[in-house]
Amino acid sequence: MSLKDKLTTFLFGSAPEEDSNEEVRTEQDYIEEAVLPLPIPDDSNPALLELPSEHPIHRIYDLRRKEAGYLPTPRLCLDNDGILPDDLVQREKNRLRTALISMCAARLKQTRGKKQNKKDKKNKEDATEKENKKAKENKNESENEPVDLDALPSFFLSADKLYAWMIVFPPVGQGRELSREILYRALEERGITYGVDKNLINRISRDEEKYFHLFLIAKGKAAFDGTNGNIVDYFPRVITRVLEIDEFDRVDYTALNLIHNVKQGEEICRLIKPTEGEPGRTVLDEEIPAKSGKSVPLPKGRNTEISEDGTLLLASITGDVEFTGRSFQVKPVLDIPGNVDFSTGNINFLGDVNIHGDVLNGFTVRAMGNIQIAGVIETGSIVEAGGDLIVVKGILGDGNAVIRAHRSLFSKYIENSTIYVRENLQTDCIINSQVYSDGEVVVRSGRGCIIGGRIWAAKKISAMAVGARSECKTAVSLGGLPCTNFERELVQRELVLLQTEIETLEPQIDSSSKSSLLDKARLRLTAAELKLKQLESELKDIKLITDEKANNGRLECSIAYPGTEISFGDESLRLRQEYRQCVATLVRGEILIT
């Protein structure tokens, strides 16, 4: 369109008549015009589609307005009722904008009609000059046959075919107005047969605003995938082994109950079975498949069984429930109502042990699981737990016995004892003890002091006070692999004792008892040598890792008294003065206290 034509359109509201030689506008022409920047919509409804003035729908609208006089303004809204998801509306608005260009271009092409054959040359020569002039003025109108088009419903389907919208183009010429019959026939031709809103069809056929409006004419049924099966646990899978300190700096060690008792036949967990998926239907009456939920197996472990209906995991024995990472298992629990003394003897149990009294002097308690002691561990006793060890009242040793926990240890106090802990240790105070921990040593509750002895911790030592005003020699070592080093020391001591025993037996007079004792001693010596060789190999292989851990060690304390020795690997520092609220770390090979 020339500049003159555009000005005429702006001033008088209609475009000048096109010359017959002008090329017919194609769909691509409308697309190029329609991609111009869109005006800012006045309607606050985000589902409303705004189209530029160059969009071909305005041409069809102008043709209808010339014929009908008054015509409601076009309004294209994908969701008048606010029932559709916002993301769906925004996604389909872009698709609808492109689809409308094709719909309108096709409708405009229909309104042009078919061209007539030109008049014979003979008739043109015989026509008078007046008739030729009149024919020239009405050339555009005479070239095209007048057309009569019925109202045309056009449909737009969402990408998933779950929704179908309809826009109705008005009739042209003597074409029929929109009716129910036209609507149903158009729906059938388009194949939209499922979820059609019949009440809306009846209303549209009588509505004054039926043209140039967008209607949600049909809604399909979405498919729903089945839910996966899951497990409902009646016992915890992860046990928190951290004691909390109250406002009086006290810890209730009885509150840390690591033994979860279960009776034979009691439920451990329940299986919620998966559900089947519910298929959906598109507006074209096509099935939308749905996925069924996936099943999960019951975490069956030792001493458990599955119920007949396959939905329950039951305990087959009475004991302690423990989750091992993949399955629940029930460990037998040995319950000692009183002390470990001559009435019980030494205890060596494959499950958990719950002692309501003390472990008296000279007795041994070993268990593959957790050990919980309500009283104290007296001098000369040996206690070894394959899991956690809880001593509610404390540990009082004689400097020789070894207390082992292959997980964590919790005790009211530790005095004159050798402690071996694979994970963390938490207590109120440590006095004159040797502690080896591959995790953290926390002495923050109660007195919160470490006095005398030596503490080895791979990660961190945290205490209220380290050392004493009397400058009692107290050593703390950080980093490395304390438990592995301790095992090596024990094996080396055992080798010395065995070699001494063999040297004592060899000079004796030959006898059957001597041969038996020598064979046993040499066998134990060989086993100890193999174990030492293995430990040396492990320490050598992980030397680099050990060095890295030494650099990551950390001492935190409120008070560090003079006489305290701090070590990081081969680096050591003896405090000459008192430090408060201090943190000791190894920085570039030097011990730094801040």
Query: Across the chain, how many H-helices and E-strands are there?
Result: 12, 38
Q: What is the mean pLDDT of residues 470-477?
A: 91
Q: Which two tokens stand for residue 498?
A: 């065995």
The Cα 535–Cα 488 span in angstroms is 6
pLDDT at 117: 41
Q: Give how far the C-alpha of residue 299 lies from the chain's centroid of Cα atoms, to the nearest Å.
A: 21
pLDDT digits (tens, 9 = 90+) for 258-298: 778 888 999 999 999 999 999 999 999 999 999 999 999 99
Q: What is the mean pLDDT of residues 446-466?
A: 93
The SS3 assignment for 457 reads strand
pLDDT at 145: 60
Between 144 and 227, where is the model more confident? 227
Is 567 exposed, middle or buried, given 0-12, 13-18 or 19+ CB atoms closer than 10 A?
Answer: buried
- Backbone dihedral angles phi then psi of residue 274, each to the nearest 5 degrees: -70, 160
Q: Are strands 261-262 and 319-323 parallel, antiparallel or unpaired?
A: antiparallel
pLDDT band with cut points at 50, 70 and 90 for residue 350: confident
pLDDT band with cut points at 50, 70 and 90 for residue 544: low
Q: What is the mean pLDDT of residues 380-385?
A: 92
CA dihedral 437, 438, 439, 443 (to 10 degrees): 10
Q: What is the mean pLDDT of residues 511-536?
A: 84
pLDDT band with cut points at 50, 70 and 90 for residue 129: low
pLDDT band with cut points at 50, 70 and 90 for residue 173: confident
Tally the C-alpha atoms within 13 A of residue 591's C-alpha that lie toward its C-beta.
22
C-alpha distances in Å from residue 395, one per residue of 251, 259, 410, 423, 432: 16, 20, 10, 18, 12
The Cα 426–Cα 462 span in angstroms is 10
Q: What is the mean pLDDT of residues 401-428?
A: 92
The Cα 279–Cα 336 span in angstroms is 60
pLDDT band with cut points at 50, 70 and 90 for residue 131: low
Q: Are 327 and 299 in contact (CB under 8 A)?
A: yes
pLDDT at 467: 93
Sign of CA dihedral 95, 101, 104, 109: negative
pLDDT digits (tens, 9 = 90+) for 495-506: 888 888 888 888
pLDDT at 557: 93
pLDDT at 312: 94
Crossing angle (nearest 10°) for helices 57-68 and 86-112: 60
Q: What is the DSSP letter of 110?
A: H
At position 75, the amino acid (one-letter code) is R
pLDDT at 132: 56
Q: What is the DSSP letter of 584?
A: E
pLDDT digits (tens, 9 = 90+) for 151-168: 899 999 999 999 999 998
pLDDT at 556: 93
The Cα 539–Cα 482 span in angstroms is 11
- Tokens 């064979």, residue located: 519
pLDDT digits (tens, 9 = 90+) for 65-113: 877 777 777 888 888 777 888 888 888 888 888 888 888 888 888 877 6
C-alpha distances in Å from residue 574, one per residue of 187, 398, 444: 93, 27, 23
Tally the C-alpha atoms within 13 A of residue 224's C-alpha that lie toward its C-beta.
6
At position 536, the amino acid (one-letter code) is E
pLDDT at 64: 81
The Cα 215–Cα 200 span in angstroms is 8
> Which of 333, 396, 406 is closest to 359 using CA atoms?
396
pLDDT at 460: 92
At position 552, the amino acid (one-letter code) is N
Domain boundaries, the chain: 24-116+140-219, 224-322, 485-541
Q: Are 150 and 170 in contact (CB under 8 A)?
A: no
**Cα angle at 461 between 457 and 465, to 5 degrees?**
135
Is 506 exposed, middle or buried, given 0-12, 13-18 or 19+ CB atoms closer than 10 A?
Answer: exposed
Buried b (16+ CB within 10 A) or exposed e, 350-360: ebbbbbebbbb
Q: Are 331 and 351 in contact (CB under 8 A)?
A: yes
What is the overall mean pLDDT for the chain? 82
Instruction: Count other C-beta atoms under 10 Å from residue 158's C-beta.
Output: 21
pLDDT at 331: 87
Give 280's strand partners. Answer: 288
- Tokens 């080895």, residue located: 456
Task: Give the rounded percent of residues in the chain with a pLDDT score beyond 70.
Answer: 84
Quick check: 43 pLDDT over 70? no
Between 251 and 270, where is the model more confident? 270
- Backbone dihedral angles phi then psi of residue 570, each to the nearest 5 degrees: -85, -10
Q: What is the mean pLDDT of residues 320-328?
A: 89
The Cα 89–Cα 78 span in angstroms is 7
Between 133 and 409, where is the model more confident? 409
Q: Are 259 and 385 in contact (CB under 8 A)?
A: no
Q: Are 336 and 354 in contact (CB under 8 A)?
A: yes
Considering the entire predicted model, what is its pTM? 0.60
pLDDT band with cut points at 50, 70 and 90 for residue 142: very low
Between 243 and 166, where is the model more confident? 166
Is 438 exposed, middle or buried, given 0-12, 13-18 or 19+ CB atoms closer than 10 A?
Answer: buried
Long-range pairs of 156-161 with CB within 8 A, sequence gap ≥ 24: 156/95, 156/96, 156/99, 156/100, 156/103, 157/192, 157/283, 157/284, 158/88, 158/92, 158/95, 159/91, 159/92, 159/95, 160/282, 160/288, 161/220, 161/282, 161/283, 161/284, 161/286
pLDDT at 494: 85
> Which of 209, 223, 217, 171 is closest to 190 using CA atoms?
217
